[in-house]
């Protein structure tokens, strides 16, 4: 039922297509990520999430989602996948993740709760920190 939305979402992420991504989000959508912080994670607005996704598409070579499995849920879907790509230094990146996606009545993404392997994303945090340090 949500296959087309999910496929468009992934294609826009890997292609760095911010305009399409924005159109797939409902107004006021929120994106929650597991990790440190109150409640075991943190929420992002659409604008913050788009900055993150654009950065990923610009910094990962051969950026792709593989081993995708989806199941419909009432009002949305769950997706398990492995995000893969190549870091600028040539080393591979692999992050297993699960998304719980809530879709509004207009067929747009209202909320995402992402549970990702936080150890797998350490190289991304290191890259972002190195880029910030180089700008300082």
Element housing 38 (H / E): none
Whole-angstrom distance, CA of residue 52 vs CA of residue 43: 13
What pTM was computed for the model? 0.86
Strands 41-45 and 76-86: unpaired
Give residue 3's pLDDT: 92
What are the C-alpha distances in Å from 65 to residues 44, 89, 129, 130?
21, 20, 24, 25
Token pair of 56, please?
A: 């990923």
What are the C-alpha distances in Å from 116 to residues 32, 109, 131?
11, 19, 23
Could you tell me which of 112, 120, 114 has the C-alpha nearest to residue 92? 120
CATH ID of 2-134, from 3.40.1190.20, 3.10.450.50, 3.30.450.40, 3.40.50.720: 3.10.450.50
Strands 25-34 and 92-103: unpaired
* Tens digit of pLDDT at every position of the chain (136 positions): 789 999 999 999 999 899 999 999 999 999 999 876 666 778 999 999 999 888 888 888 999 999 999 999 999 999 999 999 999 999 999 999 999 999 999 999 999 999 998 777 777 777 777 778 888 8
Give residue 38's pLDDT: 66
Give residue 37's pLDDT: 66
Give residue 4's pLDDT: 94
Give residue 123's pLDDT: 72
pLDDT in tens, 14-37: 998 999 999 999 999 999 998 766
Whole-angstrom distance, CA of residue 26 vs CA of residue 28: 6
């Amino acid at each position: 039922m949500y296959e087309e939305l999910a496929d468009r979402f992934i294609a826009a992420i890997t292609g760095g297509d911010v305009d399409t991504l924005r159109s797939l989000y409902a107004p006021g959508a929120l994106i929650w990520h597991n990790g440190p912080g109150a409640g075991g994670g943190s929420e992002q607005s659409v604008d913050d999430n788009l900055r993150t996704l654009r950065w990923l598409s610009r910094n990962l070579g051969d950026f792709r989602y593989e081993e995708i499995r989806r199941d419909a849920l009432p009002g949305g879907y769950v997706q398990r996948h492995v995000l893969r790509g190549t870091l600028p230094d040539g080393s591979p990146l692999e992050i297993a993740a699960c998304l719980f996606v809530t879709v509004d009545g207009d067929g747009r993404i209202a909320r995402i709760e992402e549970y990702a392997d936080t150890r797998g994303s350490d190289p991304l945090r290191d890259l972002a920190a190195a880029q910030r340090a180089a700008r300082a």
